[in-house]
Amino acid sequence: MKLWDKGYSTDAFVEEFTVGRDRELDLYLAEADVLGNMAHMKMLNSIGLISDEDRVALEQGLKDIYASVQRGEFRIDEGVEDVHSQVEFILTEKCGDAGKRIHTGRSRNDQVMVDLKLFSRAALIELQSGVKSLFDVLMQRAEELKDVLMPGYTHMQVAMPSSFGMWLSAYAEALADDLLQLNAAYRLVNTNPLGSGAGYGSSVPLNREMTTRLLGFEDLAYNSMYAQMQRGKTERTVLTAIAAVAATVGRLAQDVCLYSCANFGFVKLPDAFTTGSSIMPHKKNPDIFELIRAKCNRLQALPMEITLTMTNLPAGYFRDMQLTKEVYVPAFKEIADVLRMAAAGLEQMWINRDILADDKYKYLFTVEDVNDAVAKGVPFRDAYREVGMRVQNGTYQHDGRELNHTHEGSIGNLCLENIKAKFERNMFDCSAAQKAEAELMK
């Protein structure tokens, strides 16, 4: 059963090859497809191409399908090509000829594009929520541990004093900056391609401003050709934002793996977040954070996969674009799982509060001693050389006094409230989109 059926059949393997994973992945787009159909149908009614009687029947039919999607009962039947076909066939069964009118002025090209936009918008809202949950855990633990010192490293060599508060809030602020890319992705996603047809508009007098308003889009993708050129660009932009979050979380996961190693012993994961060895009874492996690291690395490769799929395509729609869904749709679950696991692990992680008692960390304080001498009037280079010579000849000792770091961003002044404010400032506002969708389906 195909919307484009013209009375001839295709080879079975050709059909399998061209449909690919659409029937599987399109289930993720079902809710968006119903929303797009509802807005388009209401617009067709407003311009006289669907009667008021048919509008009532189609509205109820779409609400029924929407409810089945939300209950997890919606299926794409065997032999049905994709979600667009399934929704139209159900409407035709329920509403007769009215169901056949709903595709007026539309192509599957703009239908796919609006589905991807609506799906992406909802998925980005969920992703922002997941990022905030991890951010909140990082900030909560940073506040709790802001006075607990740990070694800081450069070149993997002991460098200067740091703190668990500094370490954790550094990643929190990184997530705040990652929101800027999520925000940009959301703004691109939140534009309406519906009505662009196959990429060249329609002779039907469509009201694209109306569908933009009904679907809660911030703006139109005005040029019909460009609306279709956003396919691939949209996925790449969103995946680039996901990759930014993944880069932050993957680096954090690497730290946790390193710091939980017995040679460091800075942190300890709860038993539930470790696995054992089949041969070594003592082992507690940080598999959860190793998998977070690997998944984050894989997520960072996805924008390039989309780029290569789309490279050198001329203007217009091409079947190459179908393959972007196989890369794109699963990425949201993967990053959501990563964020959830990272937040849970960090929330329960044990912290070694007495790391610096070990004599091997005494050189952390050489810069403190240089600065003390400078404060007493010794030129910096002379103070540096004097402390360096004591290190070199093995006579360096630190007196163990308390540290006094006061400038913004130092271990004594982490500016946690400022980081929270930055995060909140960089979040995108999704309330208008959510309100419009609720209004459309009520």
Residue 2 located in a structural domain: no
Closest CA to 177 of 251, 254, 256, 245: 245
Residue 404 located in a structural domain: no
- Domain count within the chain: 3
Residue 8 has pLDDT above 60, yes or no: no
Q: Are 396 and 387 in contact (CB under 8 A)?
A: yes
Q: Are 134 and 146 in contact (CB under 8 A)?
A: no
Residue 38 located in a structural domain: yes
Please check whether residues 39 and 166 belong to one and the same domain. Answer: no
* Average pLDDT rounded to a whole number, residues 302-324: 89
Give the model confidence (pLDDT) of 31-40 as tens digits. Answer: 999 999 999 9
Residue 14 has pLDDT above 90, yes or no: no
Q: Which two tokens stand for residue 350?
A: 């044990």
**How many whole angstroms separate alpha carbon 176 and alpha carbon 169?**
10
**How many whole angstroms separate alpha carbon 442 and alpha carbon 380?**
71
Residue 5 located in a structural domain: no
Q: 400: how many CB neighbours lie within 10 A of its CB?
A: 9
Closest CA to 190 of 434, 441, 438: 434
Residue 4 located in a structural domain: no
**Range of weakest confidence among 355-369, 379-393, 400-414:** 400-414
Residue 70 located in a structural domain: yes
Give the model confidence (pLDDT) of 96-140 as tens digits. Answer: 999 999 999 999 899 999 999 999 999 999 999 999 999 999 999
Please check whether residues 27 and 167 belong to one and the same domain. Answer: no
Give me the active site residues, please: 155, 277
Please check whether residues 62 and 141 belong to one and the same domain. Answer: no
Q: Which two tokens stand for residue 281?
A: 């009874």
Domain termination site, one of 101, 127, 162: 101
Please check whether residues 353 and 211 belong to one and the same domain. Answer: yes
Residue 16 has pLDDT above 70, yes or no: no
Please check whether residues 26 and 114 belong to one and the same domain. Answer: no
Please check whether residues 17 and 72 belong to one and the same domain. Answer: yes
Please check whether residues 379 and 418 belong to one and the same domain. Answer: no
Residue 31 is predicted with a pLDDT of: 96
Domain termination site, one of 60, 76, 101: 101
Residue 429 carries which DSSP code? P
Please check whether residues 83 and 113 belong to one and the same domain. Answer: no
Q: Are 396 and 366 in contact (CB under 8 A)?
A: yes
Domain that holds residue 141: 108-357+410-441
**How many whole angstroms separate alpha carbon 338 and alpha carbon 242?**
11
Give the domain CATH number at 207.
Answer: 1.20.200.10
Please check whether residues 158 and 279 belong to one and the same domain. Answer: yes
Q: Which two tokens stand for residue 98?
A: 């009215």
* Average pLDDT rounded to a whole number, residues 354-361: 90
Give the model confidence (pLDDT) of 236-284 as tens digits. Answer: 999 999 999 999 999 999 999 999 998 999 999 888 887 876 788 777 8
CA atoms within 13 A on the CB side of 63: 11
* HEC assignment per residue over 22-37: HHHHHHHHHHHHHHHH
Structure confidence at residue 4 as a pLDDT band (50, 70, 90): very low
Residue 435 located in a structural domain: yes
Structure confidence at residue 9 as a pLDDT band (50, 70, 90): low
Residue 283 is predicted with a pLDDT of: 76
Please check whether residues 25 and 128 belong to one and the same domain. Answer: no
Residue 1 located in a structural domain: no
Domain termination site, one of 72, 101, 130: 101
Give the model confidence (pLDDT) of 35-58 as tens digits. Answer: 999 999 999 999 999 999 999 999
Please check whether residues 315 and 166 belong to one and the same domain. Answer: yes
Please check whether residues 127 and 154 belong to one and the same domain. Answer: yes
